């Protein structure tokens, strides 16, 4: 491209703002972030959703499968299968409440705590490498723009 040719980001669209392929941007960002995540968790027989489940359990201490289904991008039946797999790997512990045997609480086992803590450190280090040479202001803008896009998505869904 020569200095006289506008870039894709400089071209005006009929709606006004510069043209940006949001899908391509999101796909490339996801590939970069989730690719690094997969490289860290795969050697331990986990996938990204299982790691996210373990991380949520570590953050909350104890929770239900319903709690997890509210924050993870999978349905309740998949949460149940994921929980069973993580219990079988000795990473999660199920505990039935004595007052209500239908209610099952989940928490990390000691092995789950140790693995999740180690993976958190490795993934944080990977994410730090991804954000090298990006200023705090740039990260704030990314967070702000992402938040607005998500809010717009929620508004669109509720207007249907």
Is residue 54 within 8 Å of residue 83, measured between CB atoms? no
Q: How far is CA 129 from CA 9, 112, 120, in A?
A: 26, 26, 14
Q: For residues 17 and 44, which has the higher predicted lDDT (pLDDT)? A: 44
Query: What integer best gives the mean pLDDT of the chain?
Result: 88
* For residue 107, pLDDT beyond 70: yes
* For residue 154, pLDDT beyond 70: yes
Q: What pLDDT is recorded for position 1? A: 44
- Six-digit token string for 45: 């027989």
Q: Where does the pLDDT of residue 102 fall: very low under 50, low under 70, confident under 90, or very high at 90 and above?
A: confident
Q: For residues 99 and 87, which has the higher predicted lDDT (pLDDT)? A: 87
pLDDT digits (tens, 9 = 90+) for 108-151: 999 999 999 999 999 999 999 999 999 999 999 999 999 999 89
What pTM was computed for the model?
A: 0.76
* For residue 12, pLDDT beyond 60: no
Q: How far is CA 88 from CA 33, 84, 121, in A?
A: 28, 6, 24
- C-alpha angle with apex 139: 21 to 57, nearest 5 degrees? 100
Is residue 66 within 8 Å of residue 76, measured between CB atoms? yes
Report the distance separating Cα 107 and Cα 56, nearest Å.
Answer: 10
Q: Domain 39-114 falls in which CATH fold? A: Arc Repressor Mutant, subunit A (1.10.10)
Domain boundaries, the chain: 39-114
């Amino acid at each position: 491209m020569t200095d006289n040719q506008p870039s894709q980001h400089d071209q005006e669209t009929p709606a006004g703002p510069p043209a940006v392929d949001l899908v391509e941007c999101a796909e490339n960002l996801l590939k970069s972030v989730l690719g690094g995540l997969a490289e860290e968790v795969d050697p331990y027989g986990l996938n990204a959703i299982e790691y996210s489940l373990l991380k949520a359990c570590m953050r909350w201490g104890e929770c239900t499968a319903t709690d997890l289904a509210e924050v993870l991008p999978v349905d309740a039946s998949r949460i149940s299968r994921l929980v069973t797999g993580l219990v079988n790997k000795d990473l999660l512990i199920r505990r039935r409440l004595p007052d209500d045997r239908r209610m099952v609480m989940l928490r990390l086992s000691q092995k789950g705590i140790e693995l999740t803590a180690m993976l958190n450190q490795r993934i944080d280090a990977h994410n730090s490498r991804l954000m090298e040479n990006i200023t705090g202001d740039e990260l704030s803008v990314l967070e702000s723009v992402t938040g607005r896009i998500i809010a717009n998505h929620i508004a669109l869904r509720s207007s249907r």
